Amino acid sequence: MNPYQLAVWKLVRQPYRWFLSPEVSDLHNVSRALDQARAEKKGLLLIANHISAWDPLFICAALDAGHLYKMGTVTFLGKRELFDRPWKQWIMSRLGCVNIRERTVLRRVIQGLREGKVFFLFPEGCVSTDGRMGKDLGAVRFLAKHTSLVVLPIRVQGIWGGFRRDWKNIAAGRRRFQVAFGKPVLLKKGDDPSLDAMAMIREVSFAPGGRTQRVPVWAAS
């Protein structure tokens, strides 16, 4: 796996658990998604709503070491603003982040999904300013149009807008980060205008043990 990703995970995991007291629901669905992707010989796409610039770190810190080694290197699909300075490009490239707006990158992502690789994407494309979920920009629908893939929806809540404004509430434990891993879904190759990645994320439950979820019409059987 990417040594930089592993180093960041080791650096963040303990402070994350101690300082944020995260509530993690249905972590077993990560293993289910990895097993399903392997059984189907498809790539895996992790998708999540975006409430903080720290979301990628916090979500990855919720994973166990076994999940990381089983995933291997995860490629993060980011917006172009993350690459507008040479120093940003240097950091992002080492952490496995690529600019999803580049046409050549999209071709590599599609090919990577066909080869069974793992990717991470925020379908709404930007950080929420109030903690509410935004609209799906269509990236998942575009990828599914060109290749079949397994999707693992992830829902986060509790800490939005960053630490600078709300650090006192976070430090006092009045704001707790919550992350829930939904059931994996196999999307078969094809153009489906009804596919809504944010709807998939909204259906993920924070309840202990999860809940029975309705299978959307665009989910493959």
pLDDT in tens, the chain (221 residues): 789 999 999 998 888 887 777 889 999 999 999 999 999 999 999 999 998 888 898 899 999 999 999 999 999 999 888 888 899 889 999 999 999 888 889 999 999 999 999 999 999 998 887 778 999 999 999 999 999 999 999 999 887 765 556 666 666 666 678 999 999 999 999 989 999 999 999 999 986 644 433 334 344 43
Q: In this structure, is the dihedral angle defined by the CA atoms of residues 98, 43, 53 and 56, taken in order, positive or negative?
A: negative
Q: How far apart are CA 216 and CA 197, in angstroms?
A: 11
pLDDT at 25: 94
Q: How far apart are CA 10 and CA 149, in angstroms?
A: 29
pTM over 0.75: yes
pLDDT at 161: 62
Residues with Cβ < 8 Å from 9, sequence gap 6 or more? 60, 61, 63, 65, 68
Q: Phi, psi at residue 121, to the nearest 5°?
A: -145, 140
Q: How far apart are CA 216 and CA 195, in angstroms?
A: 9
pLDDT at 177: 83
pLDDT at 219: 46
pLDDT at 167: 61
Residues with Cβ < 8 Å from 127, sequence gap 6 or more? 50, 51, 52, 53, 55, 160
In the chain, domain spans: 3-202
